[in-house]
Structure 1
Amino acid sequence: MSHPSVSITCICCGRQGPHQARRLIVACYSHHRTHGTLNRYPRAPRAELWIPTTPKGRRTLARYAELIAAHVSPTRIQWELSLSERQRQRYAAAYHHLQNQQDRSAA
């Protein structure tokens, strides 16, 4: 994931600079992309699944589950819970993960 405002040490050249992707600074990423050598630098592993652990997060997840059960649209859920689009996606992933775990334990 690209974070242009984050300064990193490039794994290609060792210089400090703005992060582009694959732990490469912009100049090195552009060079390797142009020359077709990005495969030398694998993508960083994805972060683990986020599950809310705070009381507020658990309450929000419970409310998210209620709204899903009531067939409320994702846009409405986002508005109802005052979430950003990314936060709503995280709650959706956590909800589906927990649902899958419950389904597997019930089987």
Structure 2
Amino acid sequence: MLAAPIGAAAHQLVVFASVDCEAVTVEAKFSNGRVTQEGDVRVLDGDNTLQTTLRLQPDGTARVPLADLDHSGGLVIEVDTGSHDNYWIVTPEDIARKCGS
């Protein structure tokens, strides 16, 4: 008889954030490829101060306008589905590179 470890069937939440000069686009899905349809996105500045919270869209994405954020010290993008969570760091260099400065 073969037995798998208890956590073998669990999937991890994968978070990715990309930035253009206008917004941060957040994508969340499970490691098995299934789209995360519900969850909260928290955006914190470089000092871990909460800037905004919004809901994921049904396609597992969220768009956060940069004009609404203090992004000078970078951003931490946290996604929490209630049972899984993970984060992505957007550095000031990432933002500057996309904004051509």
Q: Please classify the TM superposition score into its range, dividing by the shorter chain length.
A: under 0.3
Q: Which has the higher contact order (CA 8 A, sep 6+)?
A: 2
Report the TM-score, using the length of structure 2 for normalisation: 0.24
- Normalized per residue, the structure richer in strand is 2
Look at both structures and tell me which one has the larger radius of gyration over its CA atoms.
Answer: 1
Report the TM-score, using the length of structure 1 for normalisation: 0.24
- Normalized per residue, the structure richer in helix is 1
